[in-house]
């Protein structure tokens, strides 16, 4: 079949021609007329982007500044720091503005050493009998001691514990308490559980008195949290006796109170970790 003259000289339309025509669009007067408009649009957008960036930087700077010079922590936040050690601000850095009464000072000093009695006693019982319960509760008693130490620092009171070793106390009453309970606990693992439960009874009563005799909100808060843990510790030691077929009988607290504590739910507080 013969080809016509037109078919031999006319370029065949296709992708190549389309691509070529696309590459030469800039020669189109309509395309050329749009270039200044696009440039103006880009020029008008750039100042807005810069302004938005500057606004964001200023907002971030203001937020950072407000966090640094924010309101002083509330007594509740201070107490939380005293208990956990990781609160809003360390208690020692937030010195008290209201001095403690003589009774409040004495109570705080006694409670610092009484928490040491519990810690030292439980560590000794773990050394003697190897029961993990004693070790775990001793760790929580260390946290209680730390809470007391931070409160002492906050009120600028001397620490009676200092570098004293296990079983060593400034207060003779604490020395006598530790020795009495340690001697009892050395008789058997059952007596060790009874001795530790008795220590928690004493702690609950002393903390109750401490709460009643202070007007300081931070002290009340910390004492209350420590008392919650004492309830839990008493439950734990009593349960240890139950596992050995022994029902715990209260010594310092009325048996009705003991029963209510043992059948109550575990307390939740800042110290429970």
In a domain? residue 125: yes
Choice between 251 and 13, residue whose per-residue pLDDT is larger: 251
Q: Based on the domain organization, do 187 and 154 belong to the same domain?
A: yes
- 261 or 19, which is more confident? 261
On whether both 256 and 129 belong to a single domain, the answer is yes
Question: What pLDDT score does 64 carry?
Answer: 60
257 within a domain of the structure (yes/no): yes
Residues 54 and 183 in one domain: no
pLDDT at 149 (0 to 100): 97
Q: Is 127 found in the same domain as 63?
A: no
Number of domains present in the structure of the chain: 2
What per-residue confidence (pLDDT) applies to 81? 45
Residue 122 forms part of a structural domain:
yes
Of 68, 89, 116, the one marking the end of a domain is 68
Higher pLDDT: 19 or 144? It is: 144
Last residue of a domain, one of 49, 68, 87: 68
Residue positions counted in the chain: 273
Q: Tell whether 79 and 61 lie within a shared domain.
A: no
Contact between 137 and 233 (Cβ < 8 Å): yes
pLDDT at res. 76: 42
Residue 75 pLDDT > 50, yes or no? no
Share of the chain above pLDDT 70, in %: 67
189 occurs within a structural domain: yes
In a domain? residue 272: no
51 pLDDT exceeds 50? yes
Same domain, 48 and 175: no
Of the chain, the percentage scoring pLDDT greater than 90 comes to 61
Whether 24 has a pLDDT exceeding 50, the answer reads no
Helix axes 189-213, 132-154, angle to 10 degrees: 20
Residue 15 pLDDT greater than 50, yes or no = no
Write out the two tokens for 207.
Answer: 């903390």
Question: What's the chain look like in SS3?
Answer: CCCCHHHHHCCCCCHHHHHHHHHCHHHCHHHHHHHHHHHHHHHHHHHHHHHHHHHHHHHHHHHHHHHHCCCCCCHHHHHHHHHHCCCCCCHHHCCCCCCCCHHHHHHHHHHHHHHHHHHHHHHHHHHHHCCHHHHHHHHHHHHHHHHHHHHHHHCCCCCCCCCCCCCCCCCHHHHHHHHHHHHHHCCCHHHHHHHHHHHHHHHHHHHHHHHHHCCCHHHHHHHHHHHHHHHHHHHHHHHHHHCCCCCCCCCCCCHHHHHHHHCCCCCCCCCCC
Query: What mean pLDDT is reported for the chain?
Result: 80
In a domain, 15, yes or no: no
The verdict on 86 and 50 lying in the same domain is no
The answer, yes or no, to whether residue 6 has pLDDT greater than 50, is: no
Please check whether residues 45 and 101 belong to one and the same domain: no
Note whether 153 and 62 are same-domain residues.
Answer: no
271 assigned to some structural domain: no
Q: Which of 68, 88, 112 is the last residue of a domain?
A: 68
Half-sphere exposure of 253 (CA within 13 A, CB side): 25
Range(s) of the domain holding residue 54: 38-68
* Same structural domain, 162 and 47: no
Evaluate whether 245 touches 190 at the Cβ level (below 8 Å). Answer: no
Q: 203 or 55: which carries more pLDDT confidence?
A: 203
Residues 144 and 184 in one domain: yes
Q: Are 241 and 129 part of one and the same domain?
A: yes
- pLDDT tens figures, 79-135: 444 444 444 334 444 677 789 999 999 999 999 999 999 999 999 999 999 999 999
pLDDT of residue 97: 74
Q: What is the per-residue pLDDT for 230?
A: 97
In a domain, 213, yes or no: yes
């Amino acid at each position: 079949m013969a080809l016509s003259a037109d078919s031999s000289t006319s370029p065949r339309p296709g992708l190549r021609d389309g691509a070529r025509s696309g590459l030469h669009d800039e020669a189109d007067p309509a395309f050329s007329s749009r270039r200044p408009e696009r440039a103006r649009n880009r020029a008008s957008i750039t100042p807005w982007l810069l302004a938005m960036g500057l606004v964001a930087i200023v907002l971030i700077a203001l937020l950072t500044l407000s966090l640094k010079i924010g309101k002083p922590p509330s007594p509740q936040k201070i107490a939380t720091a005293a208990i956990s050690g990781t609160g809003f601000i360390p208690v020692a850095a937030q010195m008290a503005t209201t001095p403690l009464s003589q009774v409040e000072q004495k109570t705080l000093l006694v409670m610092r050493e009484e928490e040491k009695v519990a810690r030292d006693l439980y560590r000794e019982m773990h050394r003697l009998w190897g029961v993990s319960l004693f070790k775990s509760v001793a760790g929580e008693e260390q946290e209680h001691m730390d809470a007391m130490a931070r409160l002492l620092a906050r009120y600028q009171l001397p620490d009676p514990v200092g570098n004293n070793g296990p079983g060593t106390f400034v207060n003779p009453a604490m020395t006598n308490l530790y020795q009495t309970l340690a001697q009892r606990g050395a008789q058997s693992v059952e007596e060790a559980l009874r001795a530790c439960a008795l220590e928690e009874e004493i702690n609950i009563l002393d903390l109750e008195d401490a709460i009643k005799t202070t007007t300081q909100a931070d002290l009340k808060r910390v004492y209350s949290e420590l008392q919650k843990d004492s309830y839990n510790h008493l439950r734990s030691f009593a349960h240890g006796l139950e596992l050995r077929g022994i029902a715990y009988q209260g010594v310092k607290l009325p048996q009705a109170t003991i029963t209510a504590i043992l059948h109550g739910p575990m307390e939740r507080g800042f110290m429970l970790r």
